[in-house]
Structures are given as C-alpha cells and as structure tokens.
Amino acid sequence: MEQAVIDRQPVGSRAGRPSRALTADFVRVLLFSGVVVAHSVNGINNGPDTLRAAGLVGVLLHLTRYGFVAVTLFVLVLSMQGKTMTPIQFWRRRFGLVVWPYLAWTLIYTVTDHLLGTDNPFPGVGQFAHDVGRSVITGEAKYQLYFLLISMQIYLFFPLIAAVMDRTAHRPWLVLGVGAVIQGTMFVIYQYLPRPSGPVWDVVYQHLWKTLPMYALFIAIGAVAAYHRAPLEAWLREHAVGVVLAAVVGASFSIGWFLATSGPGRLPDGATTPWNPVFLPWLVSGLVLLWMGAMWWDGMRQSGRRVGARAVSAATLRAFGVFAVHPLILDVLARAGYFDALFTWFPNSATIRSVLLIVATLALSLVLVDLLLRTPVSKWVVARDRIPLPRLRRRRSVSHA
C-alpha cells in the first residue's frame, strides 16, 4: 500500500493547482445551514399539531448528510488534481483536519451533556472514561458528530476510491450505477428487513448506517462530478430547463409520497427515516437543484455582479465551526429557558417559534465560532487556522514597515 500513489489528473484536466470550486463552497454553506435548521425545528416542534410539518422538514433536510458526502468527494478529488503522493502521505496530511476536532468535541459534549442536561449528574471517573471511549468509537457524543466518522472513512478509503476512479473515469454511468445499487441495498435492508437478532449483530446493525456503503451513490456522484467537472457543468448549463424539471419531478415524487401516507398528528412507521428508498429521488434531485442554483450564483459572480461572494467566503470559513458548535448553543438556549419563552410568546405559531430559534442558534453559533477562530486552539475545534486579532495585525504591519 505504501508504494501506491495517488495521482489526480482527471481526463481533460491540466496538471497544476485547480481553481477553487466556489459552487461547492456555496452548496456546502447551504448544507451546513440546513443542519442547523433541521436540529432547531426538530428540537422545538415535537407536539402532535406540528408532527407532520416537522417530519416533512426533517425528510427534506436528510439531504444534508448525503449532500455533505458528495461535496466532500468533489472537493477532495479536485484538491488532488496534479498532485502525486503515497497513501501514507495523504493520510498524514488529511486526517489531522478532522481527527482533532472530532476528539475535542466528543470530550466537550460528553462534559456539557452533564452540565446542561437535567437529571444527568457526572458519573465516576471510570464510567466517564468509558463513556468518552464509547463515544469516540460510535460518534454518539452528539447527534451530528457521526458525520466526522464518515469523513474519516472517506479519507481512509480515498486512495482506493481514487484508484477505482482512475480505471473507470471513462465509464461514469457504471460508477453511478454500482453506487446506486450498493446504497439502494443498504436502504432496503434498513427500511424493510427485520432487525437481526443477537448481541453482536445488534451492535453491528446499530452502527452500520454510519459506514460508507450507506452513502455509496453520493460518493460516486461527488467523484464523477469532479472528474468530469468542465463537461458536466457545460452540459448542465445547456440543458438547464430539462434538468430542473426532472429534478422537480423527482422531488415531487418523494414529497408526494410523504404527504399521501401521513396526516395531521400521524406519521406511519419509517415515514421519516433517512434511508427510506422512496426518498432517493428527492435526495438526488435536491442535490441537483442546489448545484444548479450554485452554478447560477457563480455565473452572476463571474459576470461582475455583487451577489455576496465575500459573504459566501466568510461563511465557508465558519461553516464547519457552526456545524460543530450549534448543538451546544441549542443546549444552552434550552437550559436558559429560551424554548419555554418561545412557547409562552407564540403558543399558536410553530413557524415563528422555529424561525426565532433558527436565527438565535445561527447568530450565537457564529459569535462563538468567531471567538474560537481567534484562540490558539482554533484548528483543534473549528478546523481552521487561527485568525490574528486586529491589534496583532497592526503591530505586525508596523514591524514589517
């Protein structure tokens, strides 16, 4: 394995550093925002009168987990264009970007769940160490951290994924078809087949959805899109109307099924699971619609229009941090009584409650991330290099003068 190399020079690309994919940045910011929306809506709407609406929001925002995988592969493949390195070199460069934040937030959330939760006192030292160790293995310290486990698996298997793509780049439909079969099989197993019995199988089944086969189609989509970026985007622009219409049809199928099988205060078993095969048309269509929107935005940006390019760049810098910290903000707001206050102020409007909680969570998350970005541990907790304080910048500029 050490003698193998990762040589990213896709068909039709030139060696050298690839241009930054601002379309991917735009989509990634939207996906991270969607995670905050999903957890805020689900956190404050659990009554029978909001069950169906909150369920639909949750179904639509399952797109975030699969979209993350596709965008991660897309950016990763592009970043390796024109570079040659062994798997060991690749792992040394990449793993630290996610391992240290994962370990840091696993510990942080293990502690804060006891500090902020009700009726959840600290256990003894031995039990606490056991809880931390178990959370590291399973990604269960907080409900969003499983995605960092998936990211680590992507990095671990990327040399193999790259080797497969090198041999099949000229057959993209085969790659997409195999990915669809693998992911579709996982969806069917989890949605329709009975849960296996026995303690070992029970543990495997409980965590198998956090492994790459559950995301195989979106791994394929991200890798294929990066390998064929220029011709793919040209084709999408040429056939934009047809692509959007097809995506709308796919999305309508999944949403229509949900609405037809649910009712006010009633959701059938499995109606909101993220691996329901009926939702695959929406998951693919939703990603296509986001990407088409990002391409439209990038086209306006390149034409010289002011469409918030700086805001997208700033949001990209902070997106991972918001992803990491927002459950902590939600826990603090709940403990401070903000949830109860929203129900007191707006007892009959779930929409207003949800919007105010989303705005508060995003705003406070951004404030906390900006503070963390200016600390020596920024790379460990928000996966970004430290931003010097303004005073330090002035001193440095004077000293260089």
The DSSP symbol for 126 reads H
Which pLDDT score, from 0 to 100, does residue 9 have? 47
Over residues 160-168, mean pLDDT = 92
Residue 11 pLDDT exceeds 50: no
- pLDDT class for 10, splitting at 50, 70, 90? very low
342, 43 Cβ separation under 8 angstroms: no
- pLDDT class for 6, splitting at 50, 70, 90? low
Residue 60 pLDDT exceeds 70: yes
Residue 197 pLDDT exceeds 90: no
Annotated domain spans of the chain = 6-400
52, 265 Cβ separation under 8 angstroms: yes
Map tokens 């195989």 to a residue. 216
Residue 397 pLDDT exceeds 80: no
Please state the φ and ψ torsions of residue 379, each to the nearest 5 degrees.
Answer: -70, -30
> Over the stretch 261-293, which tens digit does the pLDDT of each residue have?
998 888 888 899 999 999 999 999 999 999 999
- pLDDT class for 353, splitting at 50, 70, 90? very high
Tokens of residue 137, six digits: 């293995």
Map tokens 């002011």 to a residue. 306
Residue 4 pLDDT exceeds 60: no
Of 301, 290, 280, 272, residue with least CA distance to 180: 280
Which pLDDT score, from 0 to 100, does residue 391 have? 64
C-alpha 106/C-alpha 142 separation (Å) is: 7
Q: What is the end-to-end Cα distance of the chain in Å, rounded?
A: 50
C-alpha 240/C-alpha 244 separation (Å) is: 6
